[in-house]
Amino acid sequence: MHIFDELKERGLVFQTTDEDALRKALEEGQVSYYSGYDPTADSLHLGHLVPILVCRHLQLAGHKPYPLVGGATGLIGDPSFKDAERSLQTKDTVDSWVKSIQTQLERFLDFENGDNKAVMTNNYDWFASISFIDFLRDVGKYFTVNYMMSKESVKKRIDTGISYTEFAYQIMQGFDFYELNRLHNVTLQIGGSDQWGNMTAGTELLRRKADKTGHVITVPLITDATGKKFGKSEGNAVWLNADKTSPYEMYQFWMNIMDADAIRFLKIFTFLPLEEIEEIRQQFEAAPHERLAQKILAREVVTLVHGETAYQEALNITEQLFAGNIKNLSVKELKQGLRGVPNYTVTADDNLNIVELLVTAGVVNSKRQAREDVQNGAIYINGDRIQDLDYILTDADKLENELTVIRRGKKKYFVVTFN
């Protein structure tokens, strides 16, 4: 299958500048391409993963990636479909974020092997040496204000206001394409659908300044079956950094994907052959309650992002928590699996009687409810059911001398730590 056809079949192509010309270029030889990532945080998130996966598919097909981290554009801020201007960060902060993102990109592309090994780039390398006057003369003259105002990302900000800083962003991104073409013969840019205006600024600059043709592929904005923007979990991004979103949390994210999305996301977020995904679809639709598609999706993506060991750990945490086997997990694993659950710190003055503790730790609202829960067998300490109203927490209940896990009912967990 032609690589472009596979990308389309997987749902990874939203727009292209000239599909026939791009197909021909991909058929005739190795294409050098890039995808840019501005350091707006110290980590990429799942939304960034889609263009990264397109880059990997193309590299596996023999083409050469030049991933770019925006050490310069990250100092400016992209206006694309933002309601307000992004807060500017210091150069030191941006530089540290650049390094973090470069490290993450190295997980997904091959920087070591073959004539198409990836080459990391940073647009600060060329912007740092160009003067404002030279930039206006050599780049700005190729863009009319009318052309820049026609971009949807700019139109949406006209009423609320847009600074010249963000207004000029599209020219900067266009210059990235021009410079990568000049330095590395890059002829293809990959990015999100919201970047179309910025990306075509690059093809326009290549055409007008160098009389060359550049190509663009945008990936679709991924939404779930309800239309909700993908990659958000209870208002928080699902990060690729394990310290921000643990492998267990990422595993749970994929396990909770709706049935209507599971097969589509297998095509988008994994490298499983399409024929194998079709076989999974048939098995999944025959027994959706077994959640085969979600299990494979969670396995593939967590392994891709964090590695096999992290996946196995996430799977083990899931299985042990489901079974209530708290003592089978280390404190490190418990912290990962129970991150975000209510936490109460015990001090020397706290009454550690089970009834008193349930109330002060916020597990229940009253002593009456606490007594009922204990007597009814709804309270567990480190996985053991406690039905004695006079039970007192002791050092023996401190896992690794650090914390105690309280469970109320089947799923409500609470963590007690000791000061």
Residue 315 lies in a domain: yes
Residue 91 lies in a domain: yes
Binding residues for L-tyrosine are 34, 169, 173
Q: Using one digit for the tens of pLDDT, what is the confidence trace for 149-167?
A: 888 778 777 777 888 888 8
* 307 and 381 fall within a common domain: no
* 208 and 246 fall within a common domain: no
Q: Give the CATH number, domain containing residue 389.
A: 3.10.290.10
* 177 and 45 fall within a common domain: yes
Candidate from 1-5, 177-181, 228-232, 336-340 with smallest mean pLDDT: 228-232
Please state the domain count of the chain.
Answer: 3
* 259 and 364 fall within a common domain: no
Expressed as residue numbers, the domain containing 409 is 343-418
Which of 323, 354, 370 is the last residue before a domain boundary? 323
Q: Give the CATH number, domain containing residue 111.
A: 3.40.50.620
Q: Using one digit for the tens of pLDDT, what is the confidence trace for 58-67?
A: 999 999 999 9
Segment 19-31 mean pLDDT: 96
Which of 272, 294, 323 is the last residue before a domain boundary? 323
* 173 and 73 fall within a common domain: yes
Q: Give the CATH number, domain containing residue 309.
A: 1.10.240.10
* 41 and 170 fall within a common domain: yes
**Mean pLDDT value across the chain:** 93
* 72 and 171 fall within a common domain: yes
Residue 247 lies in a domain: yes
Which of 293, 323, 353 is the last residue before a domain boundary? 323
Q: Using one digit for the tens of pLDDT, what is the confidence trace for 228-239?
A: 877 655 456 899
* 110 and 253 fall within a common domain: no
Binding residues are 34, 169, 173, 232
Binding residues for ATP are 232
Interacting residues of 215 by C-beta distance below 8 A, sequence separation 6+: 16, 17, 18, 21, 22, 25, 187, 188, 189, 203
Q: Using one digit for the tens of pLDDT, what is the confidence trace for 121-157?
A: 999 999 999 999 999 999 999 998 888 888 877 877 7
| Strand 186-192, strand 32-37: pairing | parallel
Residue 211 lies in a domain: yes
* 185 and 215 fall within a common domain: yes
Residue 227 lies in a domain: no
Residue 256 lies in a domain: yes
Helix (H) or strand (E) holding 23: helix 19-28
DSSP 326-383: GGGS-HHHHHHHTTTS-EEEE-TTS--BHHHHHHHTTSSS-HHHHHHHHHTT-EEETT
Residue 329 lies in a domain: no
Please check whether residue 379 is in contact with residue 358, taking contact to mean a CB–CB distance below 8 angstroms. yes
SS3 194: helix
Please check whether residue 17 is in contact with residue 203, taking contact to mean a CB–CB distance below 8 angstroms. yes
* 133 and 196 fall within a common domain: yes
Residue 336 lies in a domain: no
